[in-house]
Structure 1
Amino acid sequence: MLGLRVIDFSTLLPGPLASLVLAESGADVLKVERPGMGDESRHMSEALFAMLNRGKRSIALDLNTPKGRDAALSLIRDADVLIEQFRPGVMTRLGLGWEDLRQINPRLIYCSITGYGQTGPLASVAGHDLNYQAEAGLLDSCHGLPHVLVADIMGGAYPAVLNILLALARRDRDGRGCHLDVAMADNVFPAMILDLAERGGAGASQVNRDFFMGASPRYRLYTTRDGRRMAVGAVEGRFWARLCELVDLPEALRDDRRDPKATADALAQRLASRDAAQWDAVFAGHDVCCNQVKTPEEAFASPHFAGRGVFSHSVLAPGRSEAWPALPLPLASSLRDPERIRKAPALGEDQGHGWLGNV
């Protein structure tokens, strides 16, 4: 990614996370922020802003003024990638839409991240992660609010990176840029593969969605004596058979197809007879696909993740001396540029530097 220039007009999470992946792999990422205000995440959480914007540069431009627009155009002429997260039509009204910019930079990869896409009845509707999950049907199987931002991250940021990289690879062949329409609600559907498979046509072999939703004793959570939980994912027969042996489940109940509820109740009683740590000791060294549900704090301190270097680097917020753990990203270690990920920029601190000229 060395030499790749990315200009990022996005705020909050999806777009900044996408450009963070590019920055960590060595791209030169420039945040274009509102004067005085900047990215909204600056005011929500210093740690959140620092985690999402380390290794980037920042300038402040008022895009509603001719001066600000002209400055943006001068930057875009030399950019490889543009990321924006406004509602459809906003960049066009500012004179910075795809049709405008392809005239001055035909090699530009222009990535638009929105909730519902550039077209369709919901294109202009406001929303956030919860709304996109609700519209796509993902929340139907949830009880209460989800604790993960599926639409923002898996539906927005990561598909944006994927499509940008594919577009850059195609540009290497034909020299042409393109407009990428990344819709978070659309991209939630791959996470619903079980629901989609269950809708197979007549005669098709279908997947039992309910199996993975707690209907089977082999795939659910069980509470231990000390109030912790064990995650049983013993889908395959060999794992299930070994688990039944180790917990001493009655032989008559090990065939969970006969009476799944009775088997589940019996397994629940067995696992409730000991503390979680005791079961961890029983299962150690055995392939049973059963482990204790960790708290986030326990996971962050896990020797496994520490040994893999998942939390091995840190980030500094503007004006702060204490560091926070950097946000782990799905990048192979050989693709990371560790010198570029330590510090998040102060608002407008890079005005007039580097490839920015006198902007």
Structure 2
Amino acid sequence: MRLPLEGIRILDLSTMLPGPLCTQTLADFGADVIKIEQPKGGDFFRSSKPFLKDDTSSLFMLVNRNKSSLTINLKSEKGRQLFYQLVKKADVVVEQFRPGVVKKLKIDYDSLKAINPQIIYCSISGYGQDGPYRLNAGHDINYLGYSGILGVMGKKNEKPTIPSVQIADIGGGTFNSIIGILLALIARTHSGVGQFVDISMLDGAVGWLPYLASSYLATGNSPVAGDSMLTGGYAAYQVYETMDGKYLNIGAIEMHLWSNLCNFMGKPEFIPWQRVVEKQKEMLAFFSEKFKSKTRDEWLEALSTIDTCAGPVNTVEEAFKDPQILHREMLFEVEHPRLGKIKQIGFPIKLSATPARFDRIAPDLGEDNARIMSSLGYTRDQISEMEECGDI
């Protein structure tokens, strides 16, 4: 069956994480993604550790499958003209430069829509295309800091804890870019023209604030780490250490789940205290001591007999061996021509009729130069000449 995005061509100028993961997801569902990279070195992730065999980056392989690779020197006139030819037949352009760079390169939205009025142009940046921070450098930690998220991560009265996953990059950049591009494609079916999609990772991080914002917007009191139910201040929603030095998590927010846990632990008197601030210290002390009486897996087996929210704090290795994650095919193995068998993270979006597919491994730098340029009418000699001159 035809995949949802079959026939949609995307020119991907992005690098590192947010943009490439966005375009990989679209490629998984049939989009023809051409990853356009600078001739020398390519995407920064190509040289990022850890490496598989022959200095191939594991990280690059995880966010660039199902794409072609074309090298273009966008600073050269011939390179830019090649890019313009691609734009004529493209549906989407994704870029991740700091605001203003694409205008200097003459590949900004206004320049490209003059070539192809139907083009959808998605710009991913830290702070958006306007505002006082628009030209500032930034990474995930900076966006989380500005948004208020970082300030409530960690224990009460302690230094904020840096999250190990890129919340703003992926949650604010990748996912919102996917949504924005798909919305613009749908809008184009009505209007016949493309549009500009402005994605700010700071905006995306702020979009994650409903729970935290509800307190401030209702009372004027800003939440702090370790004070509320979902930030570690309550016994019902907590991480506990077990006898073997491992950890389990409890998420008994609903009263029936909390009641089941308290009764199971022989503490029915705790039931009405679930949200009583003054009782949290006593309950935390009890559960902290109690959970150290057995190993993590012994506790999880015991708790599986009742209806309550309990789970392990897995290592990444344990996660990829977890029966639920394996059953859902969130890790799969593919054959690489040089590296042999390598593993890929699976497809988190499951469609019943048109599921995602694996078509090809992440490409080598410039692997598809000849094929793509030949399709545009370039001869073998022209391709060789452009390569020698540094245009591709």
Shorter-normalised TM range: over 0.9
1:348 aligns with 2:378: no
Counterpart of 1:299, as a letter, is A
Counterpart of 1:275, as a letter, is T
Post-superposition shift, 1:274? 1.5
Further displaced range: 154-163 or 326-335:
326-335
Post-superposition shift, 1:105? 0.5
How far apart are the structure 2 equivalents of 1:77 and 1:353? Answer: 17
Instruction: Please tell me whether the aligned partners of residues 81 and 109 of structure 1 are also in contact (alpha carbons under 8 angstroms).
Output: yes
1:243 aligns with 2:261: yes
How far apart are the structure 2 equivalents of 1:43 and 1:84? Answer: 20
1:177 aligns with 2:197: no
1:302 aligned to 292, 297, 322, which one?
A: 322
Instruction: Please tell me whether the aligned partners of residues 247 and 271 of structure 1 are also in contact (alpha carbons under 8 angstroms).
Output: no
Distance 1:272 1:254, change over 3 A: farther
How far apart are the structure 1 equivalents of 2:291 and 2:265? Answer: 7
Q: Deviations over 1:156-179 (max 9, x none)?
A: 011000000010001011111001
Counterpart of 1:34, as a letter, is Q
Q: Which residue does the alignment assign to 1:14? A: 18
1:338 aligned to 347, 350, 357, which one?
A: 357
Further displaced range: 161-170 or 320-329:
320-329
Further displaced range: 327-336 or 228-237:
327-336
Superposed counterparts of 1:139-288, under 5 Å: 139-142=150-153, 143-201=160-218, 210-249=228-267, 251-256=268-273, 257=276, 259-288=279-308
1:321 aligned to 339, 343, 367, which one?
A: 339
How far apart are the structure 2 equivalents of 1:273 and 1:201? Answer: 41
Question: SS of 2:272's equivalent?
Answer: coil
Post-superposition shift, 1:356? 4.5
Query: How many residues end up aligned between the 2 structures?
Result: 353
Question: SS of 2:86's equivalent?
Answer: helix
Distance 1:315 1:104, change over 3 A: farther
Q: CA RMSD in A?
A: 2.1
Distance 1:91 1:180, change over 3 A: same
Q: Deviations over 1:245-277 (max 9, x none)?
A: 22223x434432261211221122221222112
1:56 aligned to 26, 43, 67, which one?
A: 67
1:100 aligns with 2:111: yes
Instruction: Please tell me whether the aligned partners of residues 246 and 282 of structure 1 are also in contact (alpha carbons under 8 angstroms).
Output: no
Instruction: Please tell me whether the aligned partners of residues 231 and 292 of structure 1 are also in contact (alpha carbons under 8 angstroms).
Output: yes
How far apart are the structure 2 equivalents of 1:247 and 1:188? Answer: 38
How far apart are the structure 1 equivalents of 2:121 and 2:345? Answer: 25
Percent identical across equivalent pairs?
Answer: 35
Q: Deviations over 1:36-92 (max 9, x none)?
A: 211111111411111111111111111111111111101011100000000111111
Q: Deviations over 1:182-231 (max 9, x none)?
A: 0001100122222211122469xx9x971111221111111111111120
1:37 aligns with 2:38: no
Distance 1:265 1:49, change over 3 A: same
How far apart are the structure 2 equivalents of 1:144 and 1:218? Answer: 21
Post-superposition shift, 1:333? 4.5
1:67 aligned to 59, 66, 78, which one?
A: 78
Distance 1:333 1:313, change over 3 A: farther
Normalising by structure 1, what TM-score? 0.93
Post-superposition shift, 1:285? 3.3
Please list every run of at least 4 consecutive aligned residues from structure 1 whose deviation after the TM superposition is greater than 4 angstroms. 354-357
Counterpart of 1:122, as a letter, is Y
Q: Deviations over 1:130-156 (max 9, x none)?
A: 111112121101233211111111110
Question: SS of 2:41's equivalent?
Answer: coil
Further displaced range: 167-176 or 142-151:
142-151
Question: SS of 1:53's equivalent?
Answer: coil
Counterpart of 2:42, as a letter, is G
How far apart are the structure 2 equivalents of 1:272 and 1:90? Answer: 56
Instruction: Please tell me whether the aligned partners of residues 112 and 182 of structure 1 are also in contact (alpha carbons under 8 angstroms).
Output: yes
Q: Which residue does the alignment assign to 2:93? A: 82
Q: Which residue does the alignment assign to 1:121? A: 132
How far apart are the structure 2 equivalents of 1:357 and 1:247? Answer: 74
How far apart are the structure 2 equivalents of 1:230 and 1:90? Answer: 47
Counterpart of 1:245, as a letter, is N
Distance 1:83 1:302, change over 3 A: same
Question: SS of 1:230's equivalent?
Answer: strand
Normalising by structure 2, what TM-score? 0.85
- Which sections of structure 2, spanning at least 5 residues, go unmatched? 50-56, 154-159, 384-392
